[in-house]
A and B are shown apart, each in its own frame.
Chain A
Amino acid sequence: MYTTYDVFDDVVNLRNLVDRFFTEAPAVRRNVEYPYVNLRENNDEVVITALLPGVGVDSLNIQLIDNSLVLEGEKKSDVQDKPYIRKERVFGRFQKAVRLPYRVDGDKIEAGLKDGILTIRLAKAEEARPKKIEIR
């Protein structure tokens, strides 16, 4: 196949390169401990989500210790021992404690893993819920 050299191709490529620098964000943040978590608060519950692509339910262990939620597990390598061309993903064991802003009810915790995102719903403990104070 023959292609003719066009100097404008290089100019357009350079422009695309600069555009991409400002619209593409990396997924990996090196200064944050793995896995990355977000914590949201709804009325009576605290919702924690964590990005765990490629981690199976059986290699994940979630514990509530005192006032922290501990995520522990292993992301097993799915790249066979073959010559690689590019290696950007990380594998290995991880353990991370997330400090909860409220006391939670240990019996009412739901966790689900879907499409590589872990969602844990924790109900606030009775004493952490807002109380209305009567004025006499």
Chain B
Amino acid sequence: MANEVKKMKRDAYNCEECVIVPPADIYETAEEFVIRADMPGTRRENLDITLEKNQLDIYGRLDEELMNEENLKYGEYRVHNYHRTFVVGDGIDREKINATLENGVLTLTLPKSEKLKPRKIEIKAEA
């Protein structure tokens, strides 16, 4: 049983609807959240980013040419379409989400909505 599960897990690299989960970093500044994901081989026009309800989906399709394993003599990696889902909270300004792709690294900036940004509270002098 354990071996069968292991084999099925290995096959996850090699099926039609299979995807690779890109490693991602998320960090936070006072104004925004930033997601960075390593997606080598993805071109800008093949990347789909959708935000539906509170689910942020990143889907990157790869050119067939990159997945071609003809004449392969030695292999350490397999590339496939990328897919990753994040759940985002309500404190995001949905209109201002920004994405850039450079050298196979996707950078998504999600600005915090106005009401979540840190603000200084004025203390009124007593009348």
Residues of A in contact with B (beta carbons under 8 Å apart): 21-29, 32, 36-42, 51-56, 78-80, 82-89, 101, 113, 115-117
Contact = CB atoms under 8 A, between A and B. Distances in A.
A84 to B, nearest CB: 4
Interface string B4-33: 000011011101011111111111110001
Interface of B: 8-9, 11-13, 15, 17-29, 33, 36, 38-43, 66, 70-80, 82-83, 102-105, 107
Contacts of A80: 27, 29
B38 A116 contact: yes
A23 B78 CA distance: 14
B21 A26 contact: yes
A53 B21 CA distance: 14
A54 B71 contact: no
Given A38-B76, A39-B75, A85-B27, A53 B105 contact: yes
Nearest to B102: A54
A29 B17 CA distance: 21
Contacts of B80: 25
B40 A52 contact: yes
Given A22-B8, A54-B104, A88-B24, A42 B15 contact: no
- Of B9, B22, B23, B43, the most chain A CB neighbours within 10 A belong to B23
Contacts of A83: 27-28
Nearest to A51: B40
Contact of B38 (A21, A27, A39, A40): A27
Contact of B19 (A25, A56, A85, A88): A25
A39 B26 CA distance: 33
A54 B38 contact: yes
Nearest to B43: A115
